[in-house]
Structure 1
Amino acid sequence: MEQAHADVCGGNVCRSSDLLLAFVNSGPHGSGQAELLGDTEALAAWMTGAGLMGDSEAITGADAVAGRELRDALATVFRAHSDCPDGAMLLSDAEEYLRRTAERYPLTLRITAEGCDLAPSQTGILGAFGALFAAAADLASRGIWARMKVCKNPTCHSGFFDKTRNSSGLYCGSACSSQAAQRAYRSRLKSEKGLQR
């Protein structure tokens, strides 16, 4: 597993995936996580903590709503990567939202001797949202965007980076995989008992 991780996740890739996973996992989900983007103060604290903006920059209530909508759209895409049935149903709306929203946060190509990358063209909260789009573009350009997934365990639904060699991971870790296997086993036993009656 570690070798697979080294093969697909190096330097900027880990920074990009870590940023997007932290953002997607900022919402309430099955593991008991509280809402971390609930209001302007919470969004400011999260963006500042992620190093995307300074702590003195202004954020509005509309920005907090935009942050939650962006997070939910990204989570829907990650759910589709995991073949979650509800992810597929909501995917076209999420993709349309991301297309429209990306226009508000333009990116600039930054070229250096080491290579090139995309960076936000704006500062403040607009630049912070732009940095999230730049991270997505980085992962897509490296061919590993589809490895950004949401755990299929219904009691979890945490975002994770699929480190499996063939990108077939469905669970964020062994605990969730075991829970899902036990649930499937109990369901099969129940079905078998029902058929024997």
Structure 2
Amino acid sequence: MDATDTVLGFVNSHDGAAVDPDRVDNFVDGTRFRDWLAARELPAEASDADAAAARELREALIDLVRTHSAEVAAERLAEAEAQLSRFALRHPLTSVITASGVALRPAQPGVFGDVLAGVAELSLSGRWARLKTCRAHPCRWVFVDQTRNGSAVYCSPGCASKAAMRAYRERKKASSS
């Protein structure tokens, strides 16, 4: 699994049932988190505390990604960065040097280290800034902006269409008032 798939799979594990009934929070408890890990062929030992830690990491990453396409309150951003620093201390990365270059890998096995290594790889490659959160409420899906100028704000044409229709209805309602 490449860095983009690792990070997107992790951050897009949140509840999105309002947008798509198949989107459920995979980190709601230890059982669901274990199932999510097993589906990705990762070590599947997880407790409710591990699921809570996964939710914290996920929300901190989403807050950072949100800065790529929208404003995030300074306090919220500072808290997300502090949480990520704490995760980085508990799940350190080591450099692996090969003939083809240097990569950061988790010092110990586990999904948290894998995700942090994925974020580091995306950042070092310049792809981190291309991750954005969908602006359509309540989607919050993280996607890779593949537009040439980096201006995408919706994860899919469906979300863009719903947002356009919502804006149209609001304008129509305002003009008839």
Answer yes or no: same fold by TM over 0.5: yes
**1:103 aligned to 2:89?**
yes
* Runs of 4+ with >3 A deviation: none
1:6 aligned partner: none
- One-letter amino acid of the structure 1 residue matched with residue 158 of structure 2: A
Q: How far apart are residue 61 of structure 1 and its match?
A: 2.6
* Structure 2 residue ranges without an equivalent (≥5): none
2:126 aligned partner: 143
String of CA shifts for 1:127-170, please: whole Å, max 9, x gaps: 32111000000010011212111111104221111111111110
**1:25 aligned to 2:12?**
yes
In structure 2, the residue corresponding to 1:103 is in which secondary structure? helix
String of CA shifts for 1:94-125, please: whole Å, max 9, x gaps: 112111221110001111122221111012xx
- One-letter amino acid of the structure 1 residue matched with residue 149 of structure 2: N
Separation in 2, partners of 1:81, 1:19: 19
**1:63 aligned to 2:53?**
no
Range with bigger deviation, 108-117 or 32-41 = 32-41
Residue pair 1:80, 1:88 contacting (<8 A) in 2 also: no
1:50 aligned partner: 40
Residue pair 2:31, 2:47 contacting (<8 A) in 1 also: no
| Identity across matched positions, percent | 40
Residue pair 2:105, 2:114 contacting (<8 A) in 1 also: yes
Residue pair 1:78, 1:148 contacting (<8 A) in 2 also: yes
Separation in 1, partners of 2:47, 2:26: 16
1:79 aligned partner: 66
Q: How far apart are residue 178 of structure 1 and its match?
A: 1.3
Match of 2:136 among 139, 149, 153: 153
* Structure 1 residue ranges without an equivalent (≥5): 1-11
String of CA shifts for 1:11-47, please: whole Å, max 9, x gaps: x8xx211211111111112424211112222222222
**1:175 aligned to 2:161?**
no
Residue pair 1:19, 1:50 contacting (<8 A) in 2 also: no
**1:34 aligned to 2:17?**
no
1:9 aligned partner: none
**Richer in helix (by share):** 1
Structure with larger Rg: 1
Separation in 1, partners of 2:78, 2:173: 36
Separation in 1, partners of 2:101, 2:33: 32
**1:94 aligned to 2:94?**
no
In structure 2, the residue corresponding to 1:59 is in which secondary structure? coil
Residue pair 1:120, 1:128 contacting (<8 A) in 2 also: no
Residue pair 2:6, 2:114 contacting (<8 A) in 1 also: no
